[in-house]
Structure 1
Amino acid sequence: MTRNSRRWAIAAAAFLAAAPVLAGCGTGEDANTNKPYHPTEAVTVRQNGIDISQAFFLGPEPGSKIQAGGATPLYMSLVNSAQTPDQLVGVGVDPAVGTAKIPAPVELKTGQGVRVGTPTPTIVVEGLKQPLSGGESIRIQLQFANAGIIPVTVPVITRSREFATLAPAPGGDQSSTPSATPSASPTEGATASPSPSPSTTE
């Protein structure tokens, strides 16, 4: 293990041990799930020359859930305002939430922005340990080659309004709608009583 990877592993372990990583929002009239979510309103994280904004995980369609074992893609904007180029080389998430997957480093040239997730999602948290309905938040840490580790709390939003056309995690959104309560059926062997015929008036 190299010195950089050892430092990344130690810092990741300390971060994950100290912070709750999946929080559900309340339910009711004032719950976050009942309010429109606009990425431009999200908190912008600026650290070590990296600006992280408009970050969110794409959840299921309203009324559905991404079931345990499913996956959710990460969308966000990155701007490198440092004097040297950088790379996003890793994403950390608590194993109790799932497993973060980044197939290749994200190149960040000086003074240029990158939109992660479009046109095709690349960074995904898969193997979710709990279902996602939208309104939760997931604590992650972004590992940059030069800027180091930057922690971010990212909301989970539903695929509605302006987010309805965004692509889910590769392989499908893996969501399901809760099944309706089945209607009662006659007891096996019982004979249903015929309905009385309507009477007529002379």
Structure 2
Amino acid sequence: MSRSLRRGALAATAIVFSIAALSACGAGNDAQTLEVRPDNAAVTVEDIKVQNAVVITQPGLTTAGPAVVSAMVFNNGSTQQTLDAITLPGSAATVKLKAAEGAGPITIPAGGSVLLGGEGNASAVIENGHEAVKDGDSQPVVFKLSQTGAVALNAFVVPATSYFKEYGPSELPKPPVTAPTGTPSGTPSGTPSGTPSGSPSGEPSGEASHAAGH
């Protein structure tokens, strides 16, 4: 075998071994890490890390209703912080924050995290979301923490479908209620007037009266 052919065979063998090794790694316990997942925004400022931030709108493109900001907020510091506000620069949107327990501020414990969005979690509702954001855009979002201050990033705007459905707005529009058509309107008017007339009066006539005379 010529020297050039031997080089080609060795190169092909190396490629085969490389592919086999990668396949073995993918089939192991970490195979799920190779799954395709949404590539969402993340940023770290001092002790605060915001990960998987998205703005989720109503499932229909033309459906009016609130939107939400969904994200995981980590606190890697030694003291707790509160999430005081979320703003959307460039829009007139108002974001209403609500803790998971329903009262008080959203607190991120020291060394812990808080999930925004989804049933039973804290929420950040954009009250006029349909007017403020549009699906497919990259929306600037600023998280304001009690100690760290402003943490800004750009989040994708997506509809509440597929993967994002369970983290989307909990207030979905209801179909309009329409009154049934073709039913009688109003109630019958007027009541029967008067009483039956022509009641028997006087004495029987004809044969009946003659018979009575006998």
TM value normalised by structure 1: 0.57
Native 8 Å contact 2:136 2:157 kept in 1: yes
Distance 1:140 1:115 in 2: 16
Identity of aligned residues (%): 17
Higher relative contact order (CA 8 A, sep 6+): 1
How many residues align structurally? 134
Q: CA deviation at 1:50?
A: 0.4
Partner of 1:117: 117
Q: CA deviation at 1:155?
A: 1.1
Change (3 A) 1:82 1:45: same
Across the aligned residues of Structure 1 and Structure 2, the Cα RMSD in angstroms comes to 2.7
Native 8 Å contact 1:87 1:144 kept in 2: yes
Distance 1:73 1:80 in 2: 21
Tell me the alpha carbon deviations over residues 84-107 of structure 1, each in whole angstroms, 9 at most, x when there is no partner.
111111112247342121144211
Q: CA deviation at 1:173?
A: 4.9
Q: CA deviation at 1:108?
A: 0.9
Tell me the alpha carbon deviations over residues 116-135 of structure 1, each in whole angstroms, 9 at most, x when there is no partner.
11325621112247375521
Native 8 Å contact 1:137 1:154 kept in 2: yes
Q: CA deviation at 1:80?
A: 0.3
Distance 1:173 1:134 in 2: 17
1:127 partner amino acid: N
Change (3 A) 1:131 1:95: closer
Partner of 1:7: none
Provide runs of 4+ in structure 1 moved above 4 Å.
none
Partner of 1:108: 108
Q: CA deviation at 1:55?
A: 0.9
Report the secondary structure of 1:162's partner residue. helix
1:84 partner amino acid: T
Q: CA deviation at 1:138?
A: 1.9
Partner of 2:12: none
Distance 1:50 1:174 in 2: 38
Distance 2:108 2:56 in 1: 23
Tell me the alpha carbon deviations over residues 4-57 of structure 1, each in whole angstroms, 9 at most, x when there is no partner.
xxxxxxxxxxxxxxxxxxxxxxxxxxxxxxxxx944x22320002101001111
Change (3 A) 1:132 1:151: closer
Partner of 1:64: 61
Change (3 A) 1:38 1:163: same
Distance 2:167 2:149 in 1: 29
Q: Which ranges of structure 2 fall in alignment gaps of 5 or more residues?
A: 1-35, 99-103, 176-214
| 1:129-140 correspondence to structure 2 within 5 Å | 130=131, 132-140=133-141
Native 8 Å contact 2:67 2:130 kept in 1: no
